[in-house]
Structure 1
Amino acid sequence: MSLGGLTAIRLGAVAPELVDELVVIDVTPSALQRHAEMTADQRGTVALMHGEREFPSFQAMLDVTTAAAPHREVKALRRGVFHNSRRLDNGNWTWRYDAIRSFPDFASLWDDVDALSAPITLVRGGNSGFVSDEDVAELARRATHFRGAHVVADSGHSVQSDQPRALVDILRGVLGRR
């Protein structure tokens, strides 16, 4: 999803011999535009990348994450926070990922979509605002081998976390055709 999907689009354009097929999850090159149009609540846990970097405790970090994703089980969020955080020497907690304070403009990746030789399928979170209907239409228009878009009900941007079984079913259906 997100940066991984955009990276896969780029890789498919510049090194097509490495990419047999693409399935991108809730992202298109219009990601920055959609991101700018959303509130922090609509961005969910993605908004945390622009938030606090240090927390006095693991629980404080989990509380912020739970507030950003109230529809997800605390048990699953706890596991995600645990694997994406680390304790600092001073006892505080921080995220393992690098802070993204500003996003690059991904719009140039639409040219990479034009260059894709591999089939591409889009999976959208039904409750996510990260991909618009216009983005799907643009992807269909520009990708020579566009296989379609699947919308996963009751899922936000993190389809793999919100509806993992539904995503696996889609992936099996798409990749099982090969």
Structure 2
Amino acid sequence: MSPAPALSTVTIGNGPVALVTDEYRVPDARGVVLLWHGGGQTRHSWKATAEHVARAGWTAVSVDTRGHGDSTWAPDGDYSMDVLVGDVVAAAQRYPSPVLIGASLGGLMSLVAVGTGRVAARGLVLVDVAPRIERDGTRRIGEFMRRHAETGFADLDEVADAVAAYNPHRPRPTSTDGLRKNVRRRDDGRWYWHWDPRMMRADADEPSRQVDVDMLRSAARRISVPTLLVRGRQSDVLSEEGVRDFLELVPHAGFVDVGGTGHMVAGDDNDAFGGAITEFLARV
């Protein structure tokens, strides 16, 4: 077991955009794991996973994707997959040969970065996402993200109610303090999601902006590094059919189905997810 990591905030530049990260550095690390969250989340969603990774002897770096958290909003409003993958490339230049772990949108970014050869990764973990995802699930994400984007919330209790309605299988938190990392209070006194509303379009069901599925499948076929697909068993985004399709595209990939979890696998069961990740890292 490695000693407690040294936690620091590190900023990675990519043109006009500054990507804010939390770096959990351990001495004599086996390597670096770059953690990419899903659309509408922040780097803080990886805190427990990053600590698992650090205890296993790896330096973990959780990144706020552009337009999210403390990272810069895209000056031109461009959140296309090509631009987002460019941010993965910028991070990998600072941390060469990383293991990439990506959830949802972050998983698609990681898949494309590795499958197109733009990042020479040591390993890849996709969390509840694959080239084939379910329309109803992504539509529900889009509706949730758009519902309060312009109007905001009167207080943090309203934020907690909205999150609880979206994730009914997860207990509503007794304290709303943790939600302060996901919203910002503006001059009008209302609380708004931390992400750039321009990331969503009226014709998009989720923030990947309807990435070309054929491109995703082509990228997946070219993945040769050790790969793990993790699914939340109650997920309405990644189905069993989507898993089978991915395993046909990437025959050497491993697969873990985490019971009692939905699309937000890591947040639903940090211990089970962290255990699956550390087992994978032991083989990389």
Task: Judge conservation of contact 1:65–1:77 (CA < 8 Å) in 2.
Answer: no
Output the aligned Cα RMSD: 2.2
2:145 pairs with 1:145: no
2:277 is aligned to: 171
2:136 pairs with 1:37: yes
What SS does structure 2 have at the residue aligned with 1:18? coil
1:77-88 equivalent positions in 2, closer than 5 A: 78=176, 81-88=179-186
TM-score of the aligned structures, taking structure 1 as reference length: 0.85
For residues 49 and 152 of structure 1, the distance between their equivalents in structure 2, rounded to whole angstroms, comes to: 25
For residues 80 and 29 of structure 1, the distance between their equivalents in structure 2, rounded to whole angstroms, comes to: 32
AA paired with 1:176? A
1:20-169 equivalent positions in 2, closer than 5 A: 20-31=122-133, 34=134, 36-38=135-137, 43=140, 47-53=143-149, 54-75=152-173, 78=176, 81-99=179-197, 100-101=200-201, 102=204, 103-107=209-213, 108-146=215-253, 148-169=254-275
Deviation at 1:111, TM superposition (A): 0.8
Change (3 A) 1:140 1:159: same
| Higher relative contact order structure (alpha carbons within 8 Å, sequence separation ≥ 6) | 1
Deviation at 1:95, TM superposition (A): 0.3
For residues 145 and 109 of structure 1, the distance between their equivalents in structure 2, rounded to whole angstroms, comes to: 17
What SS does structure 2 have at the residue aligned with 1:71? coil
AA paired with 2:247? A
TM-score of the aligned structures, taking structure 2 as reference length: 0.55
In structure 1, the gaps of 5 or more residues are none
Q: Which moved more, 1:57-66 or 1:150-159?
A: 57-66
Q: Percent identity?
A: 29
Task: Judge conservation of contact 2:128–2:230 (CA < 8 Å) in 1.
Answer: yes
What SS does structure 1 have at the residue aligned with 2:113? helix
What SS does structure 1 have at the residue aligned with 2:189? coil
Change (3 A) 1:37 1:69: closer
What SS does structure 2 have at the residue aligned with 1:22? strand
Change (3 A) 1:75 1:37: closer
Change (3 A) 1:154 1:47: farther
Kindly tell me the number of residue pairs found equivalent between the two proteins.
171
For residues 169 and 160 of structure 1, the distance between their equivalents in structure 2, rounded to whole angstroms, comes to: 11
Task: Judge conservation of contact 2:128–2:231 (CA < 8 Å) in 1.
Answer: yes
